[in-house]
């Protein structure tokens, strides 16, 4: 079982809906990430949070809004999405050492999002 | 921007055969990671490499961090049906506490029993 938990596992939403994806980790990691993955493609980075502060936004459209309420939780708020936003959304975490020591990312199993 | 070239794109092998896949980059990386992804799941970390020249094993898996820091390979020995999946290499170049992870395009492995 993955130590990064994502809910819901599947989500179907209309283009006018507002929904949120949730991610939780209890490994004491201080860096958390959102990735988007299309079928048969590698994950693409969307956002990085370091010590609960947004440190990287990969020019993601504003209809995706991340939130990091505390060091264990990461949310992705969705509003007015397009059908082409349908994908697997992956959350990941890493230790995020302030000394800069490298640490691998650990991924959740993702939320399969379908926009109709 | 940085790109990773992963090859081969796909492999179809007989159970018991050894497998080799590799990634190359035009840029230097400080960390090389290898992940496996099964359908409907997230990528699972297989091996992490932190030093140039490092050779690390995890069961039947062996991976190496190239001396030039621009390449890495993953070998799987005596393949079994559960090795089926997509294998991704990933490189990390930042020395900060969060670095961007660049993924290769993936190698799809199919194993015939």
Q: Is A80 left (phi over 0), alpha (psi -120 to 50) or beta?
A: left
Cis peptide before A63 (omega within 30 of 0): no
**Are residues B92 and A100, on separate chains, in Cβ contact within 8 Å?**
no
Over residues A39-49, the mean pLDDT reads 94
How far apart CA B38 and CA B82 sit, in angstroms, is 10
Helices (H), A25-81: none
| B42 vs A2, A48, A98: nearest CB | A2
For the stretch B83-101, pLDDT in tens is: 999 999 999 876 555 667 8
| B42 vs A55, A56, A110: nearest CB | A110
How far apart CA B88 and CA B77 sit, in angstroms, is 17
Predicted local distance difference test score (pLDDT) of residue B77: 97
**Are residues B101 and A45, on separate chains, in Cβ contact within 8 Å?**
yes
Query: What confidence category does residue B3 fall into, taking pLDDT thresholds of 50, 70 and 90?
Result: confident
How far apart CA B12 and CA B84 sit, in angstroms, is 9
Question: Any chain A CB within 8 A of the CB of B92?
Answer: yes
Chain B residues closer than 8 Å to A6 by CB: 42
- Long-range Cβ contacts of B42-49 (<8 Å, 24+ apart): B42/A2, B42/A4, B42/A6, B42/A90, B42/A92, B42/A107, B42/A108, B42/A109, B42/A110, B43/A43, B43/A90, B43/A107, B43/B88, B44/A2, B44/A107, B45/A104, B45/A105, B45/A106, B46/B74, B46/B87, B47/B74, B48/A104
Q: What angle do CA A82, A83, A88 make, to 5 degrees?
A: 105
Over residues B62-77, the mean pLDDT reads 96
For the stretch B14-56, pLDDT in tens is: 999 999 999 999 989 989 999 999 988 999 999 999 999 999 9
Predicted local distance difference test score (pLDDT) of residue B98: 60
Over residues A33-60, the mean pLDDT reads 94
B95 CA: distance to closest CA in chain A (Å): 5
> Biggest alpha carbon distance in chain B?
45
Predicted local distance difference test score (pLDDT) of residue A11: 97
């Amino acid at each position: 079982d993955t130590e990064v938990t994502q809910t819901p596992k599947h989500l179907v939403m209309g283009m006018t809906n507002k929904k949120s994806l949730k991610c939780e980790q209890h490994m004491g990691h201080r860096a958390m990430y959102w990735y988007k993955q299309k079928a048969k493609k590698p994950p693409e980075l969307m956002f990085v949070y370091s010590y609960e502060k947004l440190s990287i936004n990969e020019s993601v459209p504003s209809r995706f809004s991340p939130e990091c309420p505390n060091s264990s939780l990461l949310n992705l708020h969705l509003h007015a999405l397009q059908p082409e936003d349908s994908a697997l959304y992956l959350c990941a975490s890493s230790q995020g050492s302030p000394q800069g020591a490298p640490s691998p990312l650990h991924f959740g199993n993702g939320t399969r999002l379908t926009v109709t | 921007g940085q790109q990773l070239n992963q090859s081969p794109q796909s492999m179809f092998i007989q159970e018991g055969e050894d497998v080799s896949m590799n990634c190359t980059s035009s840029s230097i990386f400080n960390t090389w990671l290898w992940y496996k992804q099964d359908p409907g799941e997230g990528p699972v970390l297989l091996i992490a490499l932190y030093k140039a020249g490092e050779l690390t094993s995890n069961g039947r898996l062996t991976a190496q961090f190239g001396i030039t820091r621009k390449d890495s390979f993953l070998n799987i020995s005596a393949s079994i049906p559960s090795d089926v999946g997509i294998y991704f290499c990933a490189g990390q170049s930042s020395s900060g506490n969060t670095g961007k992870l660049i993924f290769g395009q993936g190698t799809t492995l199919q194993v015939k029993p």
